Structure 1
Amino acid sequence: MLASCMVVGVTRQSLEVDVSRAIHHAALPHRLLACARLHHKGCSMHIATILEPIPQLAQTWAAARADRQQRTVADPADYAQLRRIGVPLLAVPVEFGGTWESLAQSARPICTLLRTLAQGDPSITLSSAMHHGVLGSWRIPSVPEPYNAAWQQQRQEVFQSVLDGAWWGTIVSEPGSGGDSSKTRAQCLPERPGSLKYRMSGPKHFGSGSGLTSFMTTRAVPEGETTPDLFFLEVRNHPWDGSTGMRLTAPWRGHGMRSTNSHAFEFANFPATRVAWPGHQAEIMAAGSSLGGMSFSSVIVGVVDAAMDYTRQWLKTRRQQGARLSAYQQVEWTLAEQEAFLIERAWEGTLQTLEQGQLNRRTVLMTKECIARLSESVLSHLCTLTGGTAYTWYCPLGAWLQDVQALGYLRPPWALAFDNLYTMGIQEDA
């Protein structure tokens, strides 16, 4: 049980959380099933069938938390489980055989699913979450002529790949860019004039889901141009020794989110496909940015849920044993509750904004940064409240503290995020 993390000589097995109780406390199964019922009517795919198994899967993952938190490599079996349930289809529009209807209708089911799964394993949840965001580029129904025919064909091919079992991810970032993909220096050479088929060369890192995804989106500068454009790479079945143009340069070694497989690679003359609306990467990437930001935030909110439930049960057990909290511990818990309350309000409020059809990238980024700061503070309070064992692998709180820090350091990192918020604010006030 939870309180056992403070007992001297405790075994890892005795540290397992009563996960069914913990997941229940967060009330997420009820929210998830409500989403399923709400979106079941009129949807060509049975979305309820996808969402209903998710709470049980989160419990199964959480039951193995002590082992999962120490993994440094993702397990393909987890992606296979999600595929069997049908999770990848949530990103595919209804007309192509998936469940996606619109951002207003589909954001909540996806974000609630991610929040639920993250209580069990945030690493695998975060890496798989990239799939839903990057496919937003092709959820644009049509583009101006003369590109629309090629666009429709590419949309069909992209979404058919998901129906055939493919996972999508992203490997946009480059060393030295500070997270700003507009500074990419990777180069793409066309295989022949007028073709969307290119060859890409250059370093990339933070490729979440490497080895699990079939396709990855990226940015590179086409030959003869000065501005990066959007491309995608078919990375499945390629060795990482450089023999086909994809060489592993640094396996992922994150302090948190340890098993996301966010590896770094050097690409050399590697096949790449340009998006079929060339020169409009800003509009295309904006189509998925709101869901991408909220997806990442939802994973972190799920970690906060798990940490609060863990500590709540720890406190209950101590009370049952007749132990009393010091004044300091009481303050730490009260502060954690207040900040978790604010996280919930930020998450819920932004989802409601999306449901109302208000696509505001600044609101989503503001929510991400607020949750990033608050979640780190919540976990710090919980770690100091429970004591020194939180600094060890015998208690999950220390690992969760490292996990939630990912939201601030990545996609985009702190400095770039705050620069963007300031610039967006000035533009809104103009």
Structure 2
Amino acid sequence: MNLALNEEQLMIQDMARKFADAELAPVAAELDKTNDQQLFQANLKKLADLGFMGLNVKSEYGGVEAGSVAFSLAITELARACASTAVTTSVTNMVAEVIQAVGNEEQKQKYLPKLCSGEYLAGGFCLTEASAGSDPAGMRTTAVKDGDDYILNGSKIFITSGTFAGVFVVWAVTDPEAKKGKGISCFLVEAGTPGMTIGKSEEKMGQKASPTNEVHFENCRIPSTSLMGKENKGFAVAVGELAGGRIGIGSLALGIGFAAMDYARQYLTERKQFGQPLSSFQGLQWKLAERYTDLEAAKLLLMQAADLKEKGLSFSKEASMAKLFASEKANKACYDAQQMLGGSGYIKEYPLERFARDVRITSIYEGTSEIQKIVISRELLK
């Protein structure tokens, strides 16, 4: 197995790292504190200009065709500096990929260039509902055919970038009589469509600059041309795209974990207790060794899943394994790094408390760790 990155992957990784260091790291704490959306969205546009919003999209639609491995590398580097920016980039790429995968040519020509260029600063992925989170097949949002239109009614929750997304991929029940999960369709809904309203941004524990909103549909009329793929066949699309999204969230968790451990490692060399640097104590040395080993293992799992996806092979189990392991180990890394700083790790002057808040959600969204175990065990027992 060749684990070496190719020239394009190395270039994208380096570009993401340099952008993160120059543009994101200096303002990450400020964004966490002030939620300055003008600053946040300006950086998203810069990322789009560099090609990061269409990493796995064909060049004919404005993407860079870099592939899933490059996507994972880029998200990791962005997350080292700003998790809010990384999650927005990850979800927007996911929206672009689902449009490319199941949209017709007219839909791809209309929406993909806008997402890739930053004309649309983000895309929205509208799947989760209050009664359909870990069980998305239980959704209640409906789309009823009315002549040449569909009428949407229902609500989605926890939608990343709801306040400024330009287009939303929305799942709704089109055949209520069908077996659970079999009568669901997938639609494209543009921002500003009458009948669609965006709720206030949630007050969150972490990743504060990334807006998370409810999206409501009340007699929202959309043309039948908004349907993506075949009617009543949309749930399989959602399941497939969630697997790809898990590579993104696992990569995001990995970046936060590395950022936390890198900061703690440097701190241990500078801080002295009992007349010697903290780095001279074996207990702390072993913590470093364990956590970095965890993170390197997570990176390899993510690379495996991304490589399988890039080759068009089955990758659902591997993506769930990677997301489960990376998110749990990144949480552990952040808390251990915080412990290494002692009281300083609890103070906002240091970034560890922000890393700990930002990483917490990674074992919850895009499928909880418990759901990943269900996916993995189902695949193993087939």
C-alpha distance in structure 1 between counterparts of 2:52 and 2:300, whole Å: 26
Q: Deviations over 1:220-245 (max 9, x none)?
A: 1126654222122211x46xxxxx42
CA drift of 1:358 comes to 2.8
C-alpha distance in structure 1 between counterparts of 2:230 and 2:104, whole Å: 6
Question: In structure 1, which of residues 108, 119, 122 is the aligned counterpart of residue 69 of structure 2?
Answer: 108
User: For the structure 1 residues 198 and 384, does the alpha-carbon distance in structure 2 shift closer, same or farther, using more than 3 Å as the test?
Assistant: same
Structure with the largest fraction of strand: 2
C-alpha distance in structure 2 between counterparts of 1:287 and 1:212, whole Å: 25
C-alpha distance in structure 2 between counterparts of 1:258 and 1:91, whole Å: 27
- Is 1:423 the counterpart of 2:375? The answer is no
Q: State the AA in 2 paired with 1:375.
A: A
Q: Deviations over 1:137-183 (max 9, x none)?
A: 23338xxxxxxxx9333333332443662232212110122332211
C-alpha distance in structure 2 between counterparts of 1:163 and 1:66, whole Å: 27
Please, what is the CA RMSD of the aligned residues?
A: 2.8
| Identical-residue share of aligned pairs (%) | 17
C-alpha distance in structure 2 between counterparts of 1:225 and 1:134, whole Å: 28
Matches within 5 A, 1:113-128: 113-128=74-89
Give secondary structure in 1 for the equivalent of 2:219. strand
Question: In structure 1, which of residues 54, 58, 70 is the aligned counterpart of residue 20 of structure 2?
Answer: 58
Matched residue, 2:337: 382
Matched residue, 1:147: none
By relative contact order (CA 8 Å, sep 6+), the higher-ranking structure is 1
Q: Deviations over 1:371-407 (max 9, x none)?
A: 1211111112111111022122121112212222222
Matched residue, 2:97: 136
CA drift of 1:67 comes to 1.5
Matched residue, 1:392: 347
User: For the structure 1 residues 140 and 151, does the alpha-carbon distance in structure 2 shift closer, same or farther, using more than 3 Å as the test?
Assistant: same
Q: Which moved more, 1:329-338 or 1:181-190?
A: 329-338
C-alpha distance in structure 2 between counterparts of 1:291 and 1:214, whole Å: 21
Q: Deviations over 1:273-311 (max 9, x none)?
A: 321422222443355344321111111111112112111
Matched residue, 1:84: 49
Matched residue, 2:213: 263
Matched residue, 1:213: 165
Matched residue, 1:312: 265
Matched residue, 1:293: 246
Equivalent pairs counted in the alignment come to 365
User: For the structure 1 residues 359 and 71, does the alpha-carbon distance in structure 2 shift closer, same or farther, using more than 3 Å as the test?
Assistant: farther
Q: State the AA in 1 paired with 2:314.
A: L
CA contact 1:230–1:281 (8 Å) conserved in 2: yes
CA drift of 1:323 comes to 2.9
C-alpha distance in structure 2 between counterparts of 1:295 and 1:401, whole Å: 19
Matched residue, 2:8: 35
- Is 1:234 the counterpart of 2:190? The answer is yes
Q: State the AA in 1 paired with 2:188.
A: F
User: For the structure 1 residues 140 and 203, does the alpha-carbon distance in structure 2 shift closer, same or farther, using more than 3 Å as the test?
Assistant: closer
Matched residue, 2:297: 342
CA contact 1:186–1:202 (8 Å) conserved in 2: yes
User: For the structure 1 residues 183 and 73, does the alpha-carbon distance in structure 2 shift closer, same or farther, using more than 3 Å as the test?
Assistant: farther
CA drift of 1:52 comes to 6.0
- Is 1:68 the counterpart of 2:31? The answer is yes
Give secondary structure in 2 for the equivalent of 1:87. coil
Matched residue, 1:332: 287
Q: Which moved more, 1:129-138 or 1:414-423?
A: 414-423
CA contact 1:115–1:302 (8 Å) conserved in 2: yes
CA drift of 1:72 comes to 4.2
CA contact 1:79–1:212 (8 Å) conserved in 2: no
Matched residue, 1:359: 314
User: For the structure 1 residues 287 and 153, does the alpha-carbon distance in structure 2 shift closer, same or farther, using more than 3 Å as the test?
Assistant: farther
User: For the structure 1 residues 135 and 286, does the alpha-carbon distance in structure 2 shift closer, same or farther, using more than 3 Å as the test?
Assistant: farther
C-alpha distance in structure 2 between counterparts of 1:391 and 1:300, whole Å: 20
C-alpha distance in structure 1 between counterparts of 2:331 and 2:59, whole Å: 37
Matched residue, 1:15: none
User: For the structure 1 residues 214 and 91, does the alpha-carbon distance in structure 2 shift closer, same or farther, using more than 3 Å as the test?
Assistant: farther
C-alpha distance in structure 2 between counterparts of 1:283 and 1:202, whole Å: 21
Q: Deviations over 1:52-94 (max 9, x none)?
A: 6433320121122331333446432122222222322324323
CA drift of 1:409 comes to 0.8
Q: Deviations over 1:16-67 (max 9, x none)?
A: xxxxxxxxxxxxxx96x93357xxxxxxxxxx6x776433320121122331
Uncovered stretches (5+) of structure 2, i.e. residues with no partner: none
User: For the structure 1 residues 58 and 372, does the alpha-carbon distance in structure 2 shift closer, same or farther, using more than 3 Å as the test?
Assistant: same
Give secondary structure in 1 for the equivalent of 2:214. strand
Q: State the AA in 2 paired with 1:318.
A: R
C-alpha distance in structure 1 between counterparts of 2:112 and 2:278, whole Å: 57
CA drift of 1:260 comes to 1.6
CA drift of 1:124 comes to 1.6
Uncovered stretches (5+) of structure 1, i.e. residues with no partner: 1-29, 38-47, 142-149, 239-243
